[in-house]
């Protein structure tokens, strides 16, 4: 999947991502301000999250609950300087429990990532649209 989109397209983009991925660990790549958190918020809404959805920049992980009482984990590893920080929060327990794991700045913990995780690359175009590519 590779497509250009606007903010108005986010609900349909999020639904399509949820429908086509075969793994619940999603890695979000892109520069600061490209819309990683915004897309994650929409994915969470489409999955039925009722909680306030915000970036866990300082806490590293936020846990959200869906209406069906399922857990979704939202990680932000922007401030990680050493992979042991991720190990200290028990990252393996999160990655291998079968719940959704939505990860911003995964390149900062590249040696700890599940091999079958889905990569989502975001970029900003000149026409104020964004491009999304799933690998």
Global confidence as pTM: 0.93
**Residue of 74, 12, 27, 23 whose CA lies nearest to 49:** 74
Per-residue pLDDT of the chain (135 residues; tens, 9 = 90+): 778 888 899 999 999 999 999 899 999 999 998 999 999 999 999 999 988 888 887 789 999 999 999 999 999 999 999 999 999 999 999 999 999 999 999 999 999 999 999 999 999 887 778 999 998
Distance, CA of 33 to CA of 124 (rounded, Å):
9
Token pair in block for residue 63: 């846990």
Domain that holds residue 109: 2-134
Number of structural domains the chain divides into? 1
Distance, CA of 50 to CA of 64 (rounded, Å):
8
Domain harbouring 38, CATH code: 3.40.50.300
**Residue of 109, 118, 107, 64 whose CA lies nearest to 90:** 109
pLDDT at 5: 86
Taking only the tens place, the pLDDT of each residue in 2-32 is 788 888 999 999 999 999 998 999 999 999 9
Question: In which residue are the tokens 């900062």 written?
Answer: 108
- Go through 7-30 and write b for each residue having 16 or more CB atoms within 10 A of its CB, e for each that does not: eebbeebbebbeeebeebbbbbbb
Burial class, 54, CB count within 10 angstroms (exposed 0-12 / middle 13-18 / buried 19+) = middle
In DSSP terms, 38 is beta-bridged to: none
pLDDT at 55: 85
Q: What is the mean pLDDT of the chain?
A: 92
């Amino acid at each position: 999947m590779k497509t250009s989109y606007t903010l108005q397209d986010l609900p349909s983009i999020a639904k399509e991502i949820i429908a086509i991925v075969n793994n619940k660990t999603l890695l979000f790549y892109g520069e600061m301000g490209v819309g990683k958190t915004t897309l994650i918020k929409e994915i969470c809404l489409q999955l039925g999250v009722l909680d306030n959805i915000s970036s866990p920049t300082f806490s590293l992980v936020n846990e959200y609950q869906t209406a069906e009482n399922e857990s979704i984990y939202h990680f932000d590893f922007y401030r990680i300087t050493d992979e042991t920080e991720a190990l200290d929060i028990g990252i393996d327990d999160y990655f291998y429990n079968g719940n959704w794991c939505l990860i911003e700045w995964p390149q900062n913990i590249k040696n700890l990532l599940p091999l079958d995780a889905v990569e989502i690359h975001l970029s900003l175009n000149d026409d104020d649209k964004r491009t999304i590519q799933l690998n």
